[in-house]
């Protein structure tokens, strides 16, 4: 096998020299100005992440409530808001990475915050002017989803500028803790803000949060080099990213695994509300509490992942995390009234712990293994693989429920997860304790 570092366009994993260079660039001594700037920059990035993720989670509640309260929107019309939000992942998911690589990453994140602020602020202004309409809300949701897509790609690629290579797992875990906390508290905060302030001011508060996030990012003092001029056009760059993942056996296995897992999860999660409310007959207030159990698991997983990686090895933990958690999805269709209601949160906490550990460690591997000029494209491909299948998985879950019943459909989906979850075990990481970006992980036959 050839050394994949030799030809950037052919893709591959960076050699030891590149890893050492990146480590020396990002691990300044404790008394150095560069080290202090990076530590401060990381704190500012975390603060921005908390504001963004909380705002995003709250907005997915505030936008539909605004449509209902201000425009008397139907259930179908409110569902279109979420569809518009995630449409960017399908339409722009693949080329977004190549676009991000042409720009400074911090500027991309700031621009995403500004776009969010403008989209959110436009709605209360339109409401005040009595010109608010559903198409305007759909447009705002589309812009918010696009901003989220580009911001997420940029922050995954930007993190290695602020933390040393040996602290990437901890850095990604901290980002995941912020995201999980937002998923846990954001929807409730959005609902409470609408109830306490009114939808008008709830939208304005989210716009202010986006503006504050942009200010935090603007204050980061770590210099970022100007990206090199791309040697090829957007289409070829996107294809090179796809070829890089296709030819890299570890990344290919991770992408396929993440996509298949999320296809099954999307089908199962799409049935959760109707399963709890109609099949198990759970009161509406308790439905929200039970659904929040996944965020509790994600918080737990973010806290546990660095400890599991140190105890068992980061590669071994990444490979086994989802297969170990997958059987717990069988507890969901076993859920019923009485004490068996506890099986639902137990199932979702365990699944979320496994998925969160896998996500943190595969993101860390991507950050270490990808050449700097390829990381944004690979991140975009992963987001496309994961979120692009979500609508398809939800439709598949709905079709199964229509033909087999909700509980039987959940049994089928739990079995499907057990079948597809072990895919990373078939990767070159099989039997490996820790990630090593220098071992041959690229197919030479392609």
Q: What is the mean pLDDT of residues 264-291?
A: 75
Q: At what angle do helices 343-369 and 168-197 cross, to 10 degrees?
A: 130
Residue 350's pLDDT is what? 93
pLDDT band at 24 (very low <50, low <70, confident <90, very high): very low
Is residue 284's pLDDT more than 70? no
User: End-to-end alpha-carbon separation of the chain, Å?
Assistant: 12
Is residue 294's pLDDT more than 90? no
Tens digits of per-residue pLDDT, 98-110?
A: 777 778 888 999 9
d(CA 352, CA 372): 30
More confident: 445 or 372: 372
When mean pLDDT is compared over 121-125, 128-132, 150-154, 170-174, the highest value belongs to 121-125
Tens digits of per-residue pLDDT, 299-355?
A: 888 888 888 988 998 888 888 899 999 999 999 999 988 889 999 999 989 998 998
Is residue 285's pLDDT more than 60? no
Residue 163's pLDDT is what? 77
More confident: 406 or 173: 406
Q: What is the mean pLDDT of residues 154-160?
A: 77
Is residue 283's pLDDT more than 80? no
Residue 442's pLDDT is what? 55
Residue 14's pLDDT is what? 38
Predicted TM-score (pTM) of this structure? 0.64
Structure tokens at 69: 């309260």
When mean pLDDT is compared over 18-32, 46-60, 157-171, the highest value belongs to 46-60
Structure tokens at 2: 């050839």
Angle at 418 between CA 297 and CA 412, to 5 degrees: 100
Cβ-Cβ contacts under 8 Å for 442 (sequence gap 6 or more): 1, 2, 4, 11, 12, 13, 247, 248, 249
Q: Can you name the residues that pair with 442 across neighbouring β-strands?
A: 248
Closest C-alpha to 268, from 90, 386, 411: 411
User: Contact, 273 vs 290, CB < 8 A?
Assistant: no
Instruction: Specify the long-range contacts of residues 152-155, CB closer than 8 Å, at least 24 apart.
Output: 152/379, 152/383, 153/96, 153/97, 153/100, 153/108, 153/376, 153/379, 153/380, 153/383, 154/100, 154/105, 154/106, 154/108, 154/109, 154/112, 154/376, 155/45, 155/49, 155/105, 155/109
Residue 212's pLDDT is what? 93
Tens digits of per-residue pLDDT, 368-420?
A: 777 767 777 887 788 788 877 777 787 788 788 888 888 998 999 999 999 99
Closest C-alpha to 156, from 372, 399, 357, 8: 372
Residue 415's pLDDT is what? 94
Tens digits of per-residue pLDDT, 217-246?
A: 999 888 777 776 766 677 777 788 788 888
């Amino acid at each position: 096998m050839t050394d994949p570092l030799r030809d950037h366009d052919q893709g591959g994993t960076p050699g030891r020299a590149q890893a050492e260079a990146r480590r020396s660039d990002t691990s300044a001594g404790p008394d150095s100005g560069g080290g202090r700037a990076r530590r401060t920059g990381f704190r500012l990035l975390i603060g921005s992440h908390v504001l963004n993720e909380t705002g995003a989670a709250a907005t997915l509640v505030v936008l539909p409530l605004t449509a209902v309260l201000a425009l008397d929107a139907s259930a179908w019309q409110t569902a279109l808001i979420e569809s518009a939000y995630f449409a960017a992942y399908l339409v722009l998911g693949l080329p977004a990475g190549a676009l991000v690589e042409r720009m400074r990453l911090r500027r991309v994140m700031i621009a995403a915050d500004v776009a969010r602020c403008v989209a959110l602020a436009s709605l209360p202004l339109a409401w005040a002017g009595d010109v608010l309409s559903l198409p305007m809300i759909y447009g705002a949701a589309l812009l918010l989803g696009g901003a989220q897509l580009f911001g997420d790609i940029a922050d995954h690629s930007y993190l290695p500028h602020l933390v040393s290579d040996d602290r990437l797992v901890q850095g990604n875990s901290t980002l995941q803790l912020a995201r999980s906390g937002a998923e846990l508290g954001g929807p409730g905060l959005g609902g409470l803000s609408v109830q306490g302030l009114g939808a008008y001011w709830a939208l304005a508060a989210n716009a202010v949060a986006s503006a504050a996030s942009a200010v935090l990012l603007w204050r980061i003092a770590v210099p970022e080099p100007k990206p090199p001029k791309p040697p090829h056009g957007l289409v070829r760059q996107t294809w090179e990213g796809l070829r890089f993942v296709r030819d890299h056996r570890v990344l290919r296995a991770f992408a396929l695994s993440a996509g298949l897992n999320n296809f099954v999860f999307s089908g199962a999660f799409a049935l959760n509300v109707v399963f709890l409310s109609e099949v198990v007959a759970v009161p509406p207030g308790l439905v929200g509490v039970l659904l929040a159990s996944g965020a509790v698991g994600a918080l737990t997983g973010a806290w546990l992942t660095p400890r599991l990686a140190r105890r068992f090895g980061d590669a071994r933990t990444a490979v086994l995390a989802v297969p170990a958690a997958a059987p717990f999805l069988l507890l969901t269709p076993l859920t019923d009234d009485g004490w068996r209601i506890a099986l639902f949160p137990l199932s979702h906490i365990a699944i979320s712990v496994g998925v969160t550990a896998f996500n943190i460690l595969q993101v860390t591997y991507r950050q270490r293994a990808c050449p700097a000029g390829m990381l944004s494209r690979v991140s975009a491909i992963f987001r496309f693989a994961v979120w692009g299948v979500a609508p398809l998985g939800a439709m598949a879950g709905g079709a199964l429920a229509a033909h087999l019943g909700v509980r039987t459909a959940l049994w089928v989906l739990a079995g499907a997860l057990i079948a597809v979850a072990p895919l990373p075990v078939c990767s070159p990481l099989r039997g490996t304790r820790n990630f090593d970006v220098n071992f041959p992980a690229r197919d030479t036959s392609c």
